[in-house]
């Protein structure tokens, strides 16, 4: 297959100015997670998460992230951005809420029963998600680092961080992009 045919088959041949889809972001993170050279470029720290920014497809923001044993993100969402992530090494657990949160105007919500979802994502496994996806990602291993690749479009303008106690979800903080870049 020629380079052009491969690009078209992968969905990259679409018009340059068009936004990437969740399927395209998922394809990108899976391909990157399978690239040993990209994965080897990430410095690992036994004490805390590490990350390297990558060039994502068509203006998306992408990150390679290292997860020491026992680390996680805490509950958060990515506001108006769509996204995808894939595991390159180790295993990650994603706890998610099957609920759409209001974009603004609230501090505390009581969640209804049955909204919790959990996924285990081993090497090569990934998932895509839409806007306002609320989740936490964890490396529950007590011994092994995990590595993952993430992509978002549009590039993250903010992340909302939440705390959770039983059925109560509380908005704790809004982080702007300049705080983590």
Each residue's pLDDT tens digit, 54-84: 999 999 999 999 999 999 999 999 988 999 9
Q: What is the pLDDT of residues 111-147, one digit of tens each?
A: 999 999 999 999 999 999 999 899 999 999 999 999 9
> What domains are there in the chain, each with its CATH number?
18-179 (2.60.120.10)
Q: 16 pLDDT band (50/70/90 cuts)? A: low
- pLDDT confidence tier of residue 94, bands split at 50, 70 and 90: very high
DSSP string, the chain: --HHHHHHHTTTTS-TTSPPPHHHHHHHHHHHHT-HHHHHTS---SSS-EEEEEE-GGG-EEEEEEE-TT-B--EEE-TT-EEEEEEEES-EEEEEE-SPPPSSS-SEEEPPTT-EEEEEE-TT-EEEE-TT-EEEEE---SS--EEEEEEEES--SEEEEEEEETTEEEEEEEEEGGGT-
Provide the pLDDT for residue 102.
79
Structure confidence at residue 12 as a pLDDT band (50, 70, 90): very low
pLDDT for the residue 178: 73
Given a cut of 90, whether residue 20 has pLDDT beyond it is: yes
């Amino acid at each position: 297959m020629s380079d052009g045919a491969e690009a078209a088959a992968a969905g990259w041949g679409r018009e340059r100015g068009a936004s990437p889809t969740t399927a395209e972001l998922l394809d990108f993170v899976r391909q990157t997670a399978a690239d040993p050279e990209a994965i080897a470029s990430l410095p690992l720290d036994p004490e805390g998460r590490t990350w390297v920014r990558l060039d994502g497809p068509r203006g998306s923001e992408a990150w390679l992230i290292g997860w020491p044993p026992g680390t996680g993100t805490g509950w958060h969402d990515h506001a108006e951005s769509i996204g995808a992530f894939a595991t390159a090494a180790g295993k990650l657990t994603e706890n998610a809420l099957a609920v759409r949160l209001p974009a603004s105007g609230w501090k505390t919500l009581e969640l209804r029963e049955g909204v919790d979802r959990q996924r285990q994502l081993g090497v090569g496994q990934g998932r895509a998600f839409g806007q306002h996806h609320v989740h936490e990602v964890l490396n529950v291993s007590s011994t092994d680092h995990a590595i993952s690749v993430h992509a978002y479009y549009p590039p993250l303008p903010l992340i909302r961080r939440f705390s959770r106690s039983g059925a109560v979800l509380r908005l704790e903080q809004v982080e702007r992009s300049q705080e983590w870049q």
